[in-house]
Amino acid sequence: MITVMIIMLVLGNDDNEEKEVEEEHEEEEQEEESRKRKCGRKRIRGWRKRKRRMWKNFSTSTHAQFIDAQQSSPVRVASFNIKQFGESKMSKPAVAENIVRILKRYDIVFVMETRDKDQKSLEQLKKLLGAAEWTFVASDPIGRTSSYKEQYVFFFRPHLLTLQDKAIIFQDDEDKFEREPIVAQFEYWSSFANAKVKVTFVGAHLDPDDVVNELNALPDVIATAESLFPTSSAVIVMGDFNSDCTYMNCEERAETALFSTPEVYTSLVPDKTDTTVSHNTDCAYDRVVITVHDRPKVKVTKVKAFNFEKELGLQLDEAQDISDHYPVEFILE
């Protein structure tokens, strides 16, 4: 039986800084191609297993004012594993500047691998982004051991999206997740629906040593998210799934509901996509999956990995100082 735990979310304060004009994304194909076989690739990262879980209950307190005006442009979304994001990374000016350049492409970004309990680096990043235009909500550190935990964070532009009521972290009695997914409902103006639309984001950073089991547990999380936020027009699951190369092979993906039941879920990132910041690997670790509805109000386009090494003109070592993952981005029309 899955239960839910409400977590504390922290909403950033406002400053003044002008909004950067963004370039439009290039058109990318949307339909999932026949699954490309990527079996037997070299494992590139080592992870240690965590032994025990510690939990706390918190109340939720977060509000953001929605400007009730029709937005002329679609909402730009990204999911980004910023490797070991925290004060050390933000203390390097060039790295911090490049992270800001990347995040400013978007209107909402789901950030993983944050390790910043006192949130100093998160506040610093918000200030560099422009606190008049940006805010964030962050979970408490999550993980099975006291020695290693990570936080989930949503950075977003509150004049374009509003966080609805609360966000939650899932806790399942069978302890299926190393880091239980976060769920948050946002409202935005949809040019496709010509109306305000609510969408639920499920963000997850899956354990590479237990990918198959954790992916098989995600449909239960999605179902619970739908029951918690019945006014949402869709559920979009995104994050670092580690669902490729030696962590998960093509046969295992074909037996996983999120990748093998197109009548229920649409996987938007093709298996051929490389989301790794390396010249030696070609792995689609980072994914976006949307629930399928008969009469959808949510239209997702231009799904791709943003290769910031190439697009920002960086050397490989400069790119790897930012992360070992590229963000996966898409448009909500």
Query: Buried b / exposed e across 51-77, counting CB within 10 Å, b at 16+?
Result: eebeeeeeeeebebebeeeeeeebbbb
Residues in the chain: 333
In this structure, what is the dihedral angle of CA atoms 301, 201, 304, 87, given to the nearest 10 degrees? 140
279 is catalytic: no
Check 178, 180, 205, 309 and give the catalytic one: 205
Long-range contacts: 219-224, Cβ < 8 Å, 24+?
219/257, 219/258, 220/2, 220/172, 221/2, 221/170, 221/181, 221/183, 222/291, 224/2, 224/4, 224/170, 224/183
Angle of helix 120-129 relative to helix 93-103, nearest 10 degrees, comes to 60
Residues 6+ apart with CB under 8 A from 48: 148
Question: Do the Cβ atoms of 83 and 90 come closer than 8 Å?
Answer: no
**DSSP SS3 for 99:** helix
**HSE (side-chain half, CA atoms, 13 Å) at 306:** 29
22 is catalytic: no
Place of tokens 């594993």: 81
CB-based burial label for 101 (10 Å; 0-12, 13-18, 19+)? middle
Q: Which H, E and C letters describe 241-258, residue by residue?
A: CCCCHHHCCHHHHHCCHH
Question: Do the Cβ atoms of 111 and 155 come closer than 8 Å?
Answer: yes
* First-to-last C-alpha distance (Å) of the chain: 36
Would you please indicate which residues are annotated as catalytic (active-site) residues?
A: 150, 205
